[in-house]
Amino acid sequence: MVTPPDRSSQTRVPIWRNVVVIKWATQIGILVGLLWLGYVVITQATSNLRATGIPFSWDFLGEPLGVKLGEGFNTDPESGLEALAVGMVNMLRVTWSGVIAATILGTVIGISRLSSNWIVSRIANAYIEFFRNIPLLVQILFWQALIVGLLPDLTPEMEGPRWLFASPKGIAMPWLTPLAGRWQYTVVLILGVVAARWVYRRRIALQEREGHDTHAFAWSIATFAVFLVGGWFAHPAAGVLGWLFTALAWVAAVVPVIGLQLVLAALAVVLAALYIVRYLRRLRSPAGMAKLSDDDYFRLAVAALVGVGVMLFFVSGAGQATLSSVLGRTLWYQMNWGFEPLFDFLASRFDFAGGAPLRFTLPEVVVPTRFPQYSHEVGKALTPGFMAVWMGVTLYTAAFIAEIVRAGIMAVPRGQGEAAAAVGLRRGQVLRLVVLPQAFRIILPPLGSQYLNLAKNTSLGIAVAYADIVQVGQTIFNQEGQALAVFIFWMGFYSLVSLILSGIVNYYNRKMALVER
């Protein structure tokens, strides 16, 4: 009897021609090449710096800066890391307030651009063409020159409180000065936001179920107002959180580092294994396991590598040192930002003391020497650097947001507005209830790009000596010579901010996306 030939060996593709092998080999080769290139660049740079007598080091993070900063929560930092932290907070102040103001202003200008009123439409168009066609740096320098050059100087005769001060030292305005109970009151307001959101969603669900207007927005505002007013008197009850933070500080002080290392290492492996099991379970059907694609293999391999890598990190000496710093057992570049000091700090802020959490105060000019200045105890003083950067990035970004809003509204089919008007909705209701909700689905993706541009454009504050992270970093590498380390710090921080902003925008973009059946 003749045995038939084995055809599987004849049809098997050689490994050097296998598409799957070629894809994986190419990707792994490119990854290894990039890692090798980065290693060569870093080692060469450190070697060159060592040859110039300035070796690459992060020691400047723990050394005193030796200079005072123009503004921030601590103008006399004790270390380079604390100085950079002040710069990061100053940058975030401009970013979050600029994003809110630019969004509101850009939306108003974009809607005005489509107004049937010729004057309003032309003014909005002139605003857009003016601000987006002038370089942002020129605008920032213009606002700086306007504040410093045209406003009158402070004089000793101005000593005392007023409703508003405007001088080359900045603009001072009335403000709600926080008092001792502000921490408890903040917790009450956060609970108010959560409750208002819950009420809003319930009223919307009722409206969709019964088909009549349930005034969801008014109900949510009323709910928040109850917490706003009631919390003013009942906020000392939030002092119970002080007990919780005291207990957490005790746990952070007594938990053994080696035990935490083992728990986190095991947790990393377990989470990676659960991800792989659940991913494979999603691919399983009644007919059996589906064929894995290259993307599936890549996801599973990355999950396994990340789990093993995190596990090895936690059981190593680097993991022990990191956890010791995180718990607050050791200083990290002369700063103790661990959990134990954090919880101790929060425990000291939450007590059952009563009193007003905020106090309305007027700005005041004081004359401690022969040079008058704004008081730091009352009111709110905005420095020329902050005002110049904020005005520049806000007005500039609002011009682009206005065009995005205009394009988004025009992308909504015209019949939507006509149908809404036909059922008796007024023009404002048509815009608020029909047009804008559909337009925001189109507006949101490019709007996120403008938010990222605004955050990165704050780095131009160095031109007007605004003490953001770039200006502080420049001061550090001028003193220490660690330009490469400072640039790495800059890139890491701006990348983190950009990823957070894009993550928030993508989250709301997915929430607003139409779900097709």
How far is residue 472's CA from residue 82's CA, in Å, rounded to a whole number?
Answer: 10
How far is residue 87's CA from residue 475's CA, in Å, rounded to a whole number?
Answer: 11
Place of tokens 């070796």: 55
What does the pLDDT read at residue 4? 55
CATH of the domain at 423: 1.10.3720.10
Domain boundary among 328, 349, 370: 349
How far is residue 13's CA from residue 7's CA, in Å, rounded to a whole number?
Answer: 12
Question: Comparing C-alpha atoms, which of 316, 394, 327 is closest to residue 139?
Answer: 394
Report yes or no: 177 and 162 within 8 Å, Cβ to Cβ: no
How far is residue 409's CA from residue 419's CA, in Å, rounded to a whole number?
Answer: 16
Domain boundary among 349, 383, 405: 349
Question: Comparing C-alpha atoms, which of 359, 360, 357, 361 is closest to residue 231?
Answer: 357
Report yes or no: 279 and 300 within 8 Å, Cβ to Cβ: yes
Enter the DSSP assignment of 3: P
Burial grade of 321 (CB within 10 A; 0-12, 13-18, 19 or more): middle
Domain annotation covers residue 331: yes
Report yes or no: 445 and 365 within 8 Å, Cβ to Cβ: no
Backbone angle region of 170, left / alpha / beta, with phi > 0 → left and psi within -120 to 50 → alpha: left
Domain annotation covers residue 345: yes
Shared domain for 345 and 324, answered yes or no, is: yes
Instruction: Give me the number of domains the chain comprises.
Output: 3
Shared domain for 45 and 68, answered yes or no, is: no
Report, as ranges of residue numbers, the positions in the chain whose pLDDT lies below 50: 1, 8-9
Domain boundary among 290, 317, 349: 349
What pTM value is reported for the model?
0.79
* Domain range for 266: 257-349
Q: For residue 140, what are its two tokens?
A: 């920032």
CA atoms within 13 A on the CB side of 290: 12
Domain annotation covers residue 218: no
What does the pLDDT read at residue 195? 92
Backbone angle region of 215, left / alpha / beta, with phi > 0 → left and psi within -120 to 50 → alpha: left
What does the pLDDT read at residue 5? 53
Chain centroid offset of residue 14 CA = 51
Backbone angle region of 481, left / alpha / beta, with phi > 0 → left and psi within -120 to 50 → alpha: left
How far is residue 203's CA from residue 412's CA, in Å, rounded to a whole number?
Answer: 27
Residue 332 main-chain phi, psi, to 5 deg? -115, 100
What does the pLDDT read at residue 245? 85
Domain annotation covers residue 444: yes
Question: Comparing C-alpha atoms, which of 348, 279, 349 is closest to residue 307?
Answer: 279
Domain annotation covers residue 192: no
Shared domain for 283 and 150, answered yes or no, is: no
Shared domain for 71 and 125, answered yes or no, is: yes
3-state secondary structure 448-507: HHHHHHHHHHHHHHHHHCCCCHHHHHHHHHHHHCCHHHHHHHHHHHHHHHHHHHHHHHHH
End-to-end alpha-carbon separation of the chain, Å? 60
Place of tokens 């500080």: 249
Question: Comparing C-alpha atoms, which of 350, 344, 341, 340 is closest to residue 242?
Answer: 350
Shared domain for 394 and 505, answered yes or no, is: yes
Q: For residue 198, what are its two tokens?
A: 């819950």
Residue 213: helix, strand or coil by DSSP? coil
Domain annotation covers residue 241: no
Shared domain for 314 and 400, answered yes or no, is: no
Residue 53: helix, strand or coil by DSSP? coil
Helical segments of 114-215, H only: 118-132, 136-150, 182-210
How far is residue 168's CA from residue 144's CA, in Å, rounded to a whole number?
Answer: 9
Shared domain for 291 and 368, answered yes or no, is: no
Shared domain for 117 and 28, answered yes or no, is: no
Residue type, 59: D
What does the pLDDT read at residue 399? 93
Handedness of CA 143, 145, 151, 153 (dihedral sign): positive
Shared domain for 397 and 282, answered yes or no, is: no
Chain centroid offset of residue 89 CA = 11
Q: For residue 438, what are its two tokens?
A: 């559909």
3-state secondary structure 14-48: CHHHCHHHHHHHHHHHHHHHHHHHHHHHHHHHHHH
Question: Comparing C-alpha atoms, which of 364, 362, 376, 367 is closest to residue 155?
Answer: 367
Shared domain for 28 and 126, answered yes or no, is: no
Per the document, the length of the chain is: 517
Domain annotation covers residue 268: yes
Burial grade of 299 (CB within 10 A; 0-12, 13-18, 19 or more): middle
Shared domain for 386 and 345, answered yes or no, is: no
Domain annotation covers residue 108: yes
The secondary structure element, H or E, covering residue 165 is strand 165-167
Shared domain for 497 and 404, answered yes or no, is: yes
Spatial neighbors of 231 by CB under 8 A, at least 6 apart, are 185, 188, 189, 192
Report yes or no: 383 and 70 within 8 Å, Cβ to Cβ: yes
Backbone angle region of 98, left / alpha / beta, with phi > 0 → left and psi within -120 to 50 → alpha: alpha
The secondary structure element, H or E, covering residue 406 is helix 384-411
